[in-house]
Amino acid sequence: MTRSRRTLIGGLLAAGVLAAAGVTACSRASEPDPVPLDQVLTARAELPRLIRHPRTVAVLVHNQGTEPVQVRQVELISESFAPVEPAVMDVIIPPGAAKALPVIYGEGQCGGELAPAVGHTTARLVVVVAGQEQTVELPIPNPSDLAPRLHADCVAQVVTRALTAELQDWSTRPDGMLQTTLVLSRVAGDEPITLHRVQGSVLYRFTPLTELPVELPAGTDSVAVPFVVDPARCDGHAMADAKFPYQFRAYLTIGDTPVIPADITTDLDGRDALPVMWKALCSH
């Protein structure tokens, strides 16, 4: 092969390489930039109907992109709840689909208020898209939907700081019903505390033996209020339906608060006596 011919072939090959490189560069330049994840994914907060953990909410994540999204972690970030560890998971959200991701939230940050507004809230996700792991923080547009959970925390904090409520001194009456005493004991402060009513459960009904309301005056450490307890329901499904048979609540005011609920503790004697009473009276 002559030198001139070799030179010509070499030049053609070089031109071909350059042309191919140019086409590749042009094709790369023409590829659109990927859409940011915070424009592809949206999130909302939801309160699940079935609660497996008392501090669970769901983050509903909608994938509006064209690629499936694998969620590895999700965390609720809020000014109104203490931080907790992110929930670890392995969930695929196909394009155009939405999935509810359960997360645990921390204790409400109340600042002594009973019903503060829910502050700025986001969902922080660790996801994999097209083989790349990324972290994205999505705004929650409906933080006020979390207000019932926040306010429940705030009320519980006010109650816990002020008093305890416990059922004690159980006995069986001649009619088969139980008699017990609700003891309200002051923990701190000196504001008057007024008991307005007691709410039983799906199985048990409370009837006061003294007229309500009853007050724990300022300067007094405790007050005892007697109650009679009898079955609220006796149908066959009542016991099976009772998920929280000993969850009783006192409704009271502390100083100038509105009427608020306080959880009542039932001692071991009561937990033993209540189902025995229910079965005895409901079997007639």
Residue 27 domain flag: no
Pairwise CA distance, residues 199 & 268, whole Å: 19
- The CA–CA distances, whole Å, from 176 to 115, 180, 245 equal 42, 13, 19
pLDDT digit string (tens) for 41-69? 999 999 877 666 778 999 999 999 999 99
**pLDDT value of residue 164:** 96
Cα 68 from chain centroid (whole Å): 27
Q: Are 283 and 220 in contact (CB under 8 A)?
A: no
Residues 172 and 233 in one domain: yes
Contact status, residue 101 vs residue 87, Cβ threshold 8 Å: yes
Same domain, 195 and 104: no
Contacts of residue 144, Cβ cutoff 8 Å, sequence gap at least 6: 117, 118
Tens-place pLDDT, residues 87-128: 999 999 999 999 999 999 999 999 989 999 999 999 999 999
For 224, phi then psi, to 5°, come to -115, 130
Query: How many separate domains does the chain show?
Result: 2
The answer to whether position 44 is within a domain reads yes
Both 50 and 135 in one domain: the answer is yes
pTM of the model: 0.77
Domain end point (choices 76, 109, 141):
141
Domain membership of residue 51 (yes or no) is yes
In this structure, is residue 116 part of a structural domain? yes
In angstroms, the CA 178 to CA 269 distance is: 11
Q: Which pLDDT does position 9 carry in this prediction?
A: 46
- Structural domain includes residue 13: no
**Rounded distance, CA 262 to CA 244, Å?**
15
One domain for residues 129 and 189:
no
Residue 148 lies in a domain: no
Full residue range of the structural domain in which residue 231 is found: 154-282
How far is Cα 146 from Cα 163, in angstroms, rounded to an integer? 26
Is residue 163 within 8 A of residue 263, CB to CB? The reply is: no
Q: Output the CA–CA distances (angstroms, integers) from residue 17 to 10, 23, 24, in the order listed.
A: 11, 10, 10
pLDDT at 18: 44
Residues 165 and 215 placed together within one structural domain of the fold: yes
Cα(89)–Cα(71) distance, integer angstroms: 7
Q: Give mean pLDDT, residues 219-223.
A: 94
Task: Supply the CATH number for residue 276's domain.
Answer: 2.60.40
Question: For residue 111, what is the domain's CATH number?
Answer: 2.60.40.10
Tell which of 141, 168, 197 closes a domain: 141
pLDDT reading at 215 higher than 60: yes
Do 274 and 159 belong to one domain?
A: yes
**Is the domain of 166 the same as that of 56?**
no
Residues 183 and 267: their CA atoms lie apart, in Å, by 12
On whether residue 1 sits in a domain, the answer given is no
3 within a domain of the structure (yes/no) = no
pLDDT of residue 25: 46
pLDDT of residue 4: 53
Please check whether residues 86 and 159 belong to one and the same domain.
no
On whether the CB atoms of residues 110 and 116 are closer than 8 A, the answer is: yes
Residues 167 and 137 in one domain: no
Q: In terms of domains, do 130 and 158 share one?
A: no
Cα separation, 96 vs 63, whole angstroms: 5
In tens, the pLDDT along 228-255 reads 999 998 887 767 666 778 889 999 999 9
Q: Is 185 exposed, middle or buried (0-12, 13-18, 19+ CB in 10 A)?
A: middle
The last residue of a domain, from among 110, 141, 172: 141
Q: Are residues 175 and 200 in the same domain?
A: yes
Alpha-carbon distance of 140 to 122, in angstroms, equals: 5
Length of the chain equals: 284
Q: What is the pLDDT of residue 237?
A: 74
| Per-residue model confidence (pLDDT) at position 50 | 64
The verdict on 123 and 242 lying in the same domain is no
Task: Give me the residues paired with residue 91 across strands.
Answer: 71
